[in-house]
Chains A and B, each alone.
Chain A
């Protein structure tokens, strides 16, 4: 069982470059989330989606965009990467907001 799959696992970007992180889940979950994790900060919510075609801002949405065109996929885009976006990014999905969230393995992004 794949669960939640994130691609890529590692990436190095130059300042100003753009990229898209892909999150795919095979559990037919309605809710999907993107978080970033920095030392001492826990997980901070970037954007989330409560169903196909919907997105909403979280705690730290600036500099990021998302799309949920298909129920199973949630894309996180960085239009113009900045060193402050160096972080580990986690995607998660859940049946509902109060149900167990299943996480991917994370994407380690470095912006130089």
Chain B
């Protein structure tokens, strides 16, 4: 069992739809990070949230850190085919632990 549980594991939607993916844990983290990974490459950071209740917006992406700093969500508005990829959350304390990821496919 991984420290961070991500849901859903797979998500396939049409271009223009909205979606939310979740990252949950029973542990408290100093910060929570979201990464996106393309095939054959390493993950690349999207955002870091550090304060309970914090909300960050990056264009069409909205990230929220839970009040208790145990969970987070990523909301994408009007998804585009370029959003296709593996989305990973990572919790940090003394080290960095990842969830299993959500594989998103956005069809044109």
Interface residues of A (CB under 8 A from B): 4, 33, 35, 40-45, 48, 50, 56, 58-59, 90, 92, 94, 97-106
Q: Assuming the A-B contacts A42-B6, A48-B95, A105-B41, are A100 and B48 also in contact, with contact meaning beta carbons closer than 8 angstroms in the complex? A: yes
B13-21, B60-68, B70-78, B96-104: which lies at the interface = B96-104
Instruction: Let me know if A98 and B95 touch, CB within 8 A.
Output: no
Bound Cα distance A89, B43 (Å): 12
Interface residues of B (CB under 8 A from A): 2-3, 6, 9, 30-31, 33, 35, 40-45, 48, 50, 88, 90, 92-101
Instruction: Let me know if A92 and B98 touch, CB within 8 A.
Output: no
Bound Cα distance A105, B42 (Å): 5
B95: A residues at CB distance < 8 A = 33, 45, 48, 56, 58, 97
A-B pairs, top 7 by smallest CB distance, nearest first, are: A103-B42, A42-B100, A43-B98, A98-B31, A100-B45, A42-B101, A42-B98
Instruction: Let me know if B88 and A98 touch, CB within 8 A.
Output: no
Instruction: Let me know if A101 and B96 touch, CB within 8 A.
Output: yes
B98: A residues at CB distance < 8 A = 35, 42-45
Question: In chain B, what residue has the closest Cβ to A96?
Answer: B92
Bound Cα distance A101, B35 (Å): 9
Bound Cα distance A15, B97 (Å): 29
B45: A residues at CB distance < 8 A = 100-101
